[in-house]
Amino acid sequence: MARYILNRVLVAILTMFVLATTTFFLLRLVPGDPMAGPKVTPEVKAILRKHYGLDKPLMEQYVVYMGNLLRGDFGWSMAARGNKVNNIIRDAFPASLDLGVRSMIVAIIMGLFFGIVSALHRGKPMDYLTVILVLVGISVPSFVVAGLLQFFFGVYLHILPVARYDNWKSTLMPTFALSLGTMATLARYMRASMLEIVNADYIKTAKAKGLSRLQIVMRHQVRNALFPILTILGPAIAMVLTGSFIIETVFAIPGLGRHYVTAMQNLDYTLVLGLTLFFGFFLIAMNLLVDFAYGLIDPRVRHTRG
Amino acid sequence: MSELPQEMFIPLDRAEKAGLKTETETIAFWSDVWRRFRRNKAGMAGVIIIILFVLLALIGPSLVPYTFNKIDLHSTYIHPGRAHWFGTDLLGRDIWAQLWIGARVSLLIGVVSALSQMVIGTIVGSISGIYGGKVDMIIMRAVDILIAVPFLIWVSLFMLVLKPGIQSIILAFSITEWKGMARLVRGEVLRLKETEYVLASKGMGASTWRLMTKHFFPNLLPVVTVSMTFQVTSAIFGEAFLSYIGLGIQPPLTSWGVLIAAGINEMRYYTYMLFIPAIFISLTMLSLQLIGDSLRDATDPKLRQ
């Protein structure tokens, strides 16, 4: 187990390094000048370029950036002048985290619920209802869901605020819009996972022992069906994260996702770079955690890869 | 073993060889898939909707007397009706015409990106699976790194570098999205390598090329086709996402993403501008999803009856 963990951590560190390097050089290829503006004279531009270290050779800039990165410093934002990327992340992360955690909780609870219920009622109305929900959740793009929700509950019915994120009522629509896709994916996998083991030997044994249906379902079927679900938790977190770009933009939520979208529109290299790395590191760390959790819970992984 | 005298082995001449050929065309499998696919109502509904949309994308714009980018400031924001079937937008452009030009763009991006991802993914995946060792390790590490970051982030980064447009979007999708296909193909190749017919073929001295064309590719085709259907959906969604945040298709050209972005801005008073593209993009995604699902069931040998 220790060697497995060490191996995974080393790969994660390598991945982060490659990600930082690729993104750094990729963003230097972006055409356009973040310093451009009608009031920016050549002298001012020269001062700005010096301030951001853009006058130094590319390799030197890279070494400086990577050095700062090791100390956890993402540098200065180019568009939001005088603002450090770290401060932007610090200010915007809580809102994104709040929305992300709420959405994950809703997606997991509802997704598992629908998956279990439809597997237990296979071929009955409840199953078809879930299948329809899953298909809608997967096929309707999140911005369409967000737009339609805004229209019905905000504009038409006037019962929920159209935008912002300051009280619990304003969290409802963004949370639902963000969780729908993930919920559908989880429901689909949970259903398949439940059906896969419905004829497993240990379920037959449990039946033969005369356990009640509830006991069989809860203690044997659901429990074992959950293992494969853990592996898609990583992609599910990534889905919620990228979904937040759209949802935060549509609902004007001051989170990281919206900053990311505006930074791309403003050609704010340092902010795009910083946020990409932040998202990348966050997801890599999350995937590691999921992997370890899987190793801890499933004895087969613990022993074979140890 | 060495008791067999050389004279017992007589080389066959060409004509005799041809007569001994036992290979037959593998039509049986696909006609069986089609038979099973046809029985699935949802999948067939998906096919019909997609065919209809493709036809409308081809002829739709010419059914109305307006071009999609014709600005007419005397007829802005006309609600759907007889003059403009799906209404007009803030510049008086006909939405019906825009919708089907947008469908061309979105479907083209979806299909071409999925195809090129399939080609790249299959090539990289088979190299990885067939050669193994160091080559495999390097390729799989690259795949790990690509997977660590969601594809929308990669695609957005590439779109910042590339000039916005249809080709760039397709290029960005192709560079970043082959990883899933490569993993899938590698896994399949590793599995196929262990099968007895491949072993037999190898034993009879088949070259790697022959193994690939005769055994690997035909057997890969079902999984690859199914996965491609889903890639089309993800590319259409990706285009809409990029256009929505302003990195995708640029006006005056239009796409479903551009139309939805406009619709969300205008929904307060002109709801049809959101509803119309929303319904069409959702129906397309739904149909492709249904086709993919039922194709997966139809190609799954375990579900064969």
For B152-210, how does the pLDDT look when each residue is reduced to its tens digit (9 = 90+)?
A: 888 888 888 888 788 888 998 888 888 888 888 888 888 888 888 888 888 887 788 88
Residues of B within 8 A of A250 (CB-CB) are 264
List all residues of chain B from 10 to 39 with a beta carbon under 8 Å from chain A.
none
pLDDT at B83: 72
Which pLDDT score is estimated for A306?
37
Tell whether B267 is within 8 A of chain A (Cβ). Answer: yes
pLDDT of res. A108: 92
Q: What is the overall mean pLDDT for chain A?
A: 82
Please report residues of A whose CB lies closer than 8 A to that of B143: none
Q: What is the mean pLDDT of residues B15-32?
A: 67
Residues in A touching B233 (Cβ below 8 Å): 139
**Residue A223 predicted with pLDDT over 50:** yes
Where is pLDDT greater, at B130 or A295? B130
Q: Does A24 touch chain B (CB under 8 A)?
A: no
d(CA A229, CA A112): 9
Query: Mean pLDDT, to the nearest integer, of B275-283?
Result: 87
B289/A19 Cβ within 8 A: no
Does the CB of A242 have a partner CB in chain B at under 8 Å?
A: yes
- Beta-strand ranges (E) seen in chain A are none
Beta carbons of B148 and A287 less than 8 Å apart: yes
pLDDT averaged over every residue in chain B? 82
For B47-72, what is each residue's pLDDT tens digit?
999 999 999 888 877 777 777 777 77
Q: Do A242 and B161 touch (CB under 8 A)?
A: no
Between A15 and A306, name the one with better pLDDT.
A15
In terms of C-beta density within 10 A (0-12 exposed, 13-18 middle, 19 or more buried), how is residue B81 classed?
A: exposed
Q: What is the pLDDT of residue B305?
A: 53
CB nearest A141 (choices: B150, B237, B245): B237
Kindly state the average pLDDT of the residues B276-298.
86
Query: Could you tell me if A244 and A256 are in contact, meaning their C-beta atoms sit under 8 angstroms apart?
Result: yes
Query: What tokens does A131 get?
Result: 């299948």
Average pLDDT over residues B6-18: 73
Please tell me if residue A155 touches chain B, with a CB cutoff of 8 Å: yes
Residues of B in contact with A247 (CB under 8 A): none
Mean of pLDDT values over B100-118: 90
B244 touches chain A (CB under 8 A): yes
In chain B, which ranges are continuous DSSP H helix? 14-20, 27-39, 41-59, 95-131, 133-148, 151-161, 166-176, 179-193, 196-203, 208-210, 217-244, 256-266, 272-299
Q: What is the mean pLDDT of residues B266-279?
A: 81
B144 → closest Cβ in A11, A246, A267: A11
Q: Tens of pLDDT along A91-129? A: 888 888 888 899 999 999 999 999 888 888 888 888 888
pLDDT at residue number A169: 78
Q: How far apart are the CA of B107 and the nearest CA of chain A, in angstroms? A: 15
Q: What percent of chain A has pLDDT over 70?
A: 94
On the question of pLDDT at B233 being above 80, the answer is yes
Higher-confidence residue of A1 and B33: namely B33
A287 vs B contacts (CB less than 8 Å):
148
Highest-pLDDT range among B62-71, B77-86, B119-128, B293-302: B119-128
B153–A242 C-beta distance less than 8 A: yes
Over the stretch A63-87, which tens digit does the pLDDT of each residue have? 888 888 888 888 887 776 678 888 8
Please state the length of chain B: 305
Contacts 24+ apart (CB under 8 A), B143-148: B143/B179, B143/B182, B143/B183, B144/A11, B144/A15, B145/A15, B145/A18, B145/A19, B146/B176, B146/B179, B147/B179, B147/B180, B148/A15, B148/A19, B148/A280, B148/A283, B148/A284, B148/A287
Chain A, 271 to 290: residues with Cβ < 8 Å from chain B are 272, 276, 279-280, 283-284, 287
Contacts of A148 in chain B (CB under 8 A): 274, 278
Maximal CA-CA distance, chain A: 85
Q: Tell me the range of A102-116, B92-106, B245-259 where mean pLDDT is highest.
A: A102-116
Could you tell me the pTM of the whole model?
A: 0.81
Between the two ends of chain B, the Cα-to-Cα distance in Å is: 46
Mean pLDDT, residues B95-122 taken together: 89
Q: What is the pLDDT of residues A163-187, one digit of tens each?
A: 777 777 778 888 888 898 889 989 9
